Structure 1
Amino acid sequence: MKRFVLFLCVLLVNCIFIVCECRADTAVTPEKIQQLFPKATVIGDKQDDYPVYPVYQLQELLGYAFESNDLVELPGFSGDRINLLIGMDVQGNIVGVDILHHHEPIFLHGLGPEPMRKFLDQYIGQNVSNRVIVDSAANDTNPDDNTVHVDGVTKATVSVIVMSDTVLLSALQVARNKLTGFASAPAATAKQDNYAPLSSAELLNQGYLKHWQLSRDEFEDKLGSSLDDYPAGTFDTDFNDTFDIYYAYLNSPLIGKNLLGEEAFARLQAMLKPNEQAFMVMSKGFFSYLDPDFKPGTVPSQVSLIQNELPFAMRDLNFFSSLPQALQGDLAATDDLQLFAVNTQSGFNPSVPMQLNLNIEVARNHLIKQQAQFSNDYALPESLFDIAEVEVMEKPLPAWVRVWKMRWHTITILVLSLIAVTAIFVYQHKLSANEKLFRKVRWGFMFFTLIFIGWYAQGQLSIVNIYPILQSVINGFDLQVYLMDPVLFILWLYVFISLFIVGRGIFCGWLCPFGALQEMVGWVAKRFRIRQYKISFNVHRRLWWIKYAILIGLAGTSYYSLSAAEVLSEVEPFKTAITLHFVRYWPFVLYTLVLLGLGLFINKFYCRYVCPLGAGLAVLGYFHKFEWLTRRKECGKPCTMCYHKCDIKAITPEGDVDYNECVQCLECIVYYNNDDLCPPLKKAKKTKRAKPDIADSLAVEVK
């Protein structure tokens, strides 16, 4: 036995080693990006204003590479996000997808990474404007439609839908932010025929041009120190005691043409990309809104726009790169006069009130930096704009809703089967009174559980499903994580409720596909009269604790490292036997066959001594409300039939039922309710027959 246990451990370690080899590298490297863009000669650093890596061939921009985790938050089947490195060219075509990190069990230690890569390869060449549907209806594609069908992966419906959404939504965000032609139409556009000559004073009076003045006292109050306490050159307080900022919206000719002049305004209009909104900002006084390290054409760190409590970066247009800084009229330009662009595709609307935000950071010394924040309100009248009707876009249904709709027929059959098993338990005494009928119902349901719930519907619960629940204690509860697989969600809901009513038995004895497979192995052993290995009750009771030790180890590991816990969960043979139908690397198949083979000699060996899921359910099931398996006073003393007939030894020699170990197969109830099988009932029946009838005795005496 010791040698055999050592063999099992070595086999399991070999399986874990194979799983570890399948894990993806998480780092983004130039080499990975180069694989997406083979012609690239220059790969830029991740940009500060938007999380993308620009890719060039000499001086020509080829496209962008980006991580999906920087752009979308879509939990996968495991509850963790699938992080992908995606490459997209300047036309919005996806040129490559690489897997950086994921925790999807079906690919991590199930089907392996190859089906996942093949699925993602279908997105290469797809344009982000296409509508991609995951199904197998590619032959029904209308050539005049932009709908594209891609094949899913059997047994991985949830994962592939999340991967599809991850690729498309992150790519669409980048396209709208970085590529021409993909931006949403602005909600408000400046009227180009709205112009009248206005002086700077008139622009100020009407609020089109804003003059924001901050005093020295206001600065010192925010910083908490006198301006004289800062190094020389930080503040110019010798000639000025105020900090004045002038800013204005420029797309409207009523403002932009009056400030810049007709020629400069026309040049600005030519520079702006579709949907970009231009602003002028300049300052004078003891400080400058531009940070000392500011470079033309970049985003300044100390100034931004705030609208609806959301920040919007202002990108410098480098408008005065070849011409002197100048303004029309009597408003003198300063050295830090700059024109900036804000893109409306990020949700900015120039007709809605906004604030100019200053985030000042100055060094007190070489160790200490101090910050001060200021904001100033700016609102423009709607008469300057053509307000477009908001286009009501049909939001895509959440991934979990789409999965539930796709699997409605499976859900219906599963719910009906749960109603059936509930009825079996409610009427267990009536059903078990007819031994032949009970056997047929029991065998039929075991085949249904294995074939439909397990192999077809992929409804094998696993200790891996518990990890998100444990992680929610730290990371918070997200119901969508559990709704992603309707079959598992319904089963878990049913099992969780039943745990507190009758204990773990309904799942372990009736709804566990691998448990059903083990029961069938037990039938084979009985059919061929394979001799069972006898384990004394005391040894049996000690072996119980193995599965609890495994449970504690896995639960503790999941808090330390979710990846490590998922690897160690290979102690469960469910993925090999149920999820993958034994189509897997040979060590996994051998490990599973060995566990099933043990069931020929020790009934349900895995369930009784190894299964961490069963141990976890037993812990919760300990608090069950009812004890459905009734007992007689003769049970255990003198009658020990149920103790000897219980194949998993959940009945003690004293006749008590241990509900932590009982799988409620109801075999003992069959004996309990049949006077031809139960010794106390046999005795009572025989006694009743032997006792003379009083009426017969009286009749004899009269005669």
Structure 2
Amino acid sequence: MWRLVLILLLVLAAPLRAQPMADHVVAPYALGAQLTDQGVWSLLNSGGGEAGYIFETGPLAPLPGFSGQPINILVMLDLQGTFIETRLLAHHEPIFVSGLGEAPLRQFLAQYRGHSIHEALVVGNPYGAGQGSDLVYLQGVTKATASVRIAHETILAATLTVARERMQGLKAGPPPRPDPDHDEALDWAALRDEGLARRLQVTNAEIEAAFAGTRWAGADPEARDDPQGLYLDLLAVDLGPPAIARAVLSPDSLAELARQSAVAPDDEFILLVEAGRHGLVGPDFIRNTAPDLLGATQDGLPLALRDADILADLHPDLPDPWQEATRMILRLDRRLGFDPTRDWQLVLRAERQHGMFQPEIGSTDLSLTMSLPERFFLAPSGTVQRPAWREAIEARRIDLLILGLGLAVLFALLSAQSRLAAHRHYPAIRLSILAGVIGFLGYWGQGQLSIVTPIAVIRGLTQGGGLAVLLYDPFSLVVWAAAILGLVIWGRGLFCGWLCPYGAMQEFAHHAGRRLGLPDWRPAPSFARAALWSGPIALAGLVATAFLWPGHAETLAEIEPFKTAITTHFMRPWPYVLWAGGWLVLSMVWFKGYCRSLCPLGALMRAGDLLRLRRWIPRRAECGSPCQLCRVRCRYDAIAPQGQIRYSECFQCLDCVTIHDDPRQCVPLILAVRAKGRRRAA
């Protein structure tokens, strides 16, 4: 019988045969000839003529997701670069497997239809974007921002590769990079004479002429009153070559640019200085986002232009008019095909309003052509990797700052454990920290760790998937770093006792049970010890499934209630809610029952106790024999009858530390005080 079951499991676990490309084509199109070895096919219209291209993103842009495997998306593109279809083919993103389901991801992909690769597509919200902005915003998926960004980067990289090779007649490949060893003496005069610094001047009369014949003509009184005044006086400098950057930036700004370049070596930084009335961005612009009045194109394709969030100070040798002008540093991503040695266009949008209430916005584009000589760059070689992780870090900069400060405070408090445990308000301090963990780290930051991540790491290391996907969720990565550091210092207690949002929810549930007068169930030692084995068994089952039956690994990972309780806020089908909520109800009578039994992540943390370097909980010779007070009061059963601490089961609640240092509770201290009193009386 067991052999039959094993054969059935192997058959189900076998990879499904790939669906033929022809089955993906939607009417009225038909599949043409295969054009490349990477799976790019021609798309034919009903008359048999070439109508576009169809391809899968997997072979062209194998950007790994959180499972270590890429998201594979079908893209149909017409000859003008308009998306006909974007359809999900395969993925293993945990949040979409059984958390939110695939529907939100499919709805996100449906937004590409009808849009063009010539549009500046951005995932997010239109912060600071006016009505005339060229940016096209695609609505992301709440609680799945990183996965959606990976999907967007995959579509963008694969589609632009096809467009450059097939639609523009340009071979897609690694772009040239600035040569760090190229050095030449440059000053302001040399920059200006060689065209390394480009200038664009537009008078009020010229901008008025651009709006002539429209309802926005004459809508700018300042332009009418001063026709020879400058509406735009723009200086643009490509800061990629170090020699050019040294000639235009102050030493402090140059150092900041070097730090940014070290973090993001694929970014090309562009300095803009504007001394006219345009001002570069609108009044609602938010730093570190895509500028609403600026854009860039190369070969007719949009470039991803973003603010670099660097407050630039200019070199003192630059003329005075520029020193007091508006300054801004932008960045362009060379990984998506931007070539600074070929002509590209910096586009500035000039806007006007017509009407008082709900005014209509009119605009015209002002363009400046940019390029740099090839002597400043290295010839491209090899394949350029596409880790788009810096945007994820910048998008959560404030959250990461708050998280870092919070972790620093927590580490400082726990390092002074004796004073913390002896504080008369310690219970309130602990519950306040746990409430913050649930609210900020859990619900807001989505930093609930899961066993899915370590399994993905193992698969990435053993199957060559890489670990770059971890950088797409920097918030959780910082929590992981803190948890690992805690393993070295204290054991599992830092994460399981202080940083796990679902564990904190169980602790609050137990306090609620006490308030409601429910019984406090303490299972028999034999049952408690047996329950400890359920976690390692669950962990072993998950690891085995991930390698032998990978298509079901994410489903089996639902043994963790974290996704239901924290990620989706219990907004899931009733079996998942019953599972996650049931453990919270059980915790009202059995203190943190899930943490102490079935949790596979807890089992991994227990194994990580091997990293712990010291025994940090103080003990006395009387602990365990004859005194059993700490063991009796330990709600985790983490103290052996002989008095030793089982650190692999300790959640760092500090209750035993409180007893140990309190002369009113610790039995050896009480007896010592009494003995001292008797000696004095004698």
TM-score, normalised to structure 1, is: 0.63
Q: Deviations over 1:4-53 (max 9, x none)?
A: xxxxxxxxxxxxxxxx9xx999634433221xxx322x322533556222
Deviation at 1:68, TM superposition (A): 0.1
SS at match of 1:59: coil
Which residue of 2 is the match for residue 698 of structure 1? Answer: none
Q: 2:641 aligns with which of 653, 657, 673?
A: 653
For 1:81-230, what aligned pairs fall within 5 Å after superposition?
A: 81-137=70-126, 140-141=129-130, 143=132, 145=134, 147-180=135-168
CA contact (8 A) 1:519 1:604 kept: yes
Deviation at 1:576, TM superposition (A): 0.2
Gaps of 5+ in 1: 1-19, 188-344, 350-386, 695-703
- Cα distance in structure 2, aligned partners of 1:185 and 1:590: 52
For 1:582-593, what aligned pairs fall within 5 Å after superposition?
A: 582-593=570-581
Deviation at 1:682, TM superposition (A): 2.3
Q: Deviations over 1:125-151 (max 9, x none)?
A: 221122222111078256363x32222
Which residue of 2 is the match for residue 414 of structure 1? Answer: 403
Which residue of 2 is the match for residue 77 of structure 1? Answer: 66
CA distance 1:31–1:423, change in 2 (3 Å)? same
Which residue of 1 is the match for residue 511 of structure 2? Answer: 523
SS at match of 2:571: coil
SS at match of 2:50: strand
Q: Deviations over 1:427-456 (max 9, x none)?
A: 01011112x321121011100111111111
CA contact (8 A) 2:509 2:584 kept: yes
Q: 1:631 aligns with which of 619, 630, 634?
A: 619
CA distance 1:540–1:50, change in 2 (3 Å)? closer
Which residue of 1 is the match for residue 228 of structure 2? Answer: none
For 1:103-502, what aligned pairs fall within 5 Å after superposition?
A: 103-137=92-126, 140-141=129-130, 143=132, 145=134, 147-180=135-168, 398-434=387-423, 436-476=424-464, 478-502=466-490
SS at match of 1:660: helix
Which residue of 2 is the match for residue 31 of structure 1? Answer: 23
Q: 2:57 aligns with which of 49, 59, 68?
A: 68
- Cα distance in structure 2, aligned partners of 1:26 and 1:399: 28
Partner letter of residue 503 of structure 1? Answer: G
Which residue of 2 is the match for residue 574 of structure 1? Answer: 562
Deviation at 1:73, TM superposition (A): 2.1
SS at match of 2:645: coil
CA distance 1:640–1:167, change in 2 (3 Å)? same
Q: Deviations over 1:642-685 (max 9, x none)?
A: 11211121112222211111111111111111122222222223
CA contact (8 A) 1:24 1:101 kept: no
- Cα distance in structure 2, aligned partners of 1:64 and 1:113: 26
CA distance 1:428–1:622, change in 2 (3 Å)? same
CA distance 1:134–1:346, change in 2 (3 Å)? closer
Deviation at 1:527, TM superposition (A): 2.1
TM-score, normalised to structure 2, is: 0.65
Q: 1:598 aligns with which of 556, 561, 586?
A: 586
Partner letter of residue 22 of structure 2? Answer: P
Q: 1:675 aligns with which of 657, 663, 673?
A: 663
Which residue of 1 is the match for residue 368 of structure 2? Answer: none
CA contact (8 A) 1:177 1:346 kept: no
CA contact (8 A) 1:175 1:183 kept: no
Q: Deviations over 1:395-438 (max 9, x none)?
A: 9994210000010111111111111121122101011112x321
Which residue of 1 is the match for residue 358 of structure 2? Answer: none
Q: 1:534 aligns with which of 522, 532, 539?
A: 522
Which residue of 2 is the match for residue 58 of structure 1? Answer: 47
Which residue of 2 is the match for residue 666 of structure 1? Answer: 654
Larger deviation: 521-530 or 566-575? Answer: 521-530
- Cα distance in structure 1, aligned partners of 2:126 and 2:428: 41
Deviation at 1:185, TM superposition (A): 13
Larger deviation: 525-534 or 106-115? Answer: 525-534
- Cα distance in structure 1, aligned partners of 2:411 and 2:57: 44
SS at match of 2:662: coil
- Cα distance in structure 2, aligned partners of 1:186 and 1:536: 65
CA contact (8 A) 1:54 1:64 kept: yes
Q: C-alpha root-mean-square deviation of aligned residues, in Å?
A: 3.1
Q: Runs ≥4 in structure 1, deviation > 4 angstroms?
A: 23-26, 180-187, 387-393, 395-398
Which residue of 1 is the match for residue 198 of structure 2? Answer: none
CA distance 1:473–1:76, change in 2 (3 Å)? closer
For 1:539-578, what aligned pairs fall within 5 Å after superposition?
A: 539-578=527-566
How much identity, in percent, do the aligned residues show?
35
Q: Deviations over 1:108-130 (max 9, x none)?
A: 11111111111111211221122
Partner letter of residue 100 of structure 2? Answer: L
Deviation at 1:88, TM superposition (A): 0.5
Q: Deviations over 1:464-489 (max 9, x none)?
A: 00112211332247342222211111
Deviation at 1:689, TM superposition (A): 3.5
CA distance 1:102–1:646, change in 2 (3 Å)? same
Aligned residues: 472
Deviation at 1:690, TM superposition (A): 3.9
CA distance 1:390–1:123, change in 2 (3 Å)? farther
SS at match of 1:498: helix
Which residue of 2 is the match for residue 15 of structure 1? Answer: none
SS at match of 2:75: strand
- Cα distance in structure 2, aligned partners of 1:186 and 1:574: 41
- Cα distance in structure 2, aligned partners of 1:112 and 1:185: 36
- Cα distance in structure 2, aligned partners of 1:540 and 1:88: 60
- Cα distance in structure 1, aligned partners of 2:522 and 2:174: 78
Deviation at 1:495, TM superposition (A): 1.5
Larger deviation: 674-683 or 461-470? Answer: 674-683
CA contact (8 A) 1:138 1:148 kept: no
- Cα distance in structure 2, aligned partners of 1:611 and 1:185: 47
- Cα distance in structure 2, aligned partners of 1:555 and 1:656: 32
Q: 1:46 aligns with which of 1, 21, 34?
A: 34
CA distance 1:171–1:142, change in 2 (3 Å)? farther
- Cα distance in structure 2, aligned partners of 1:438 and 1:448: 15
Which residue of 2 is the match for residue 17 of structure 1? Answer: none
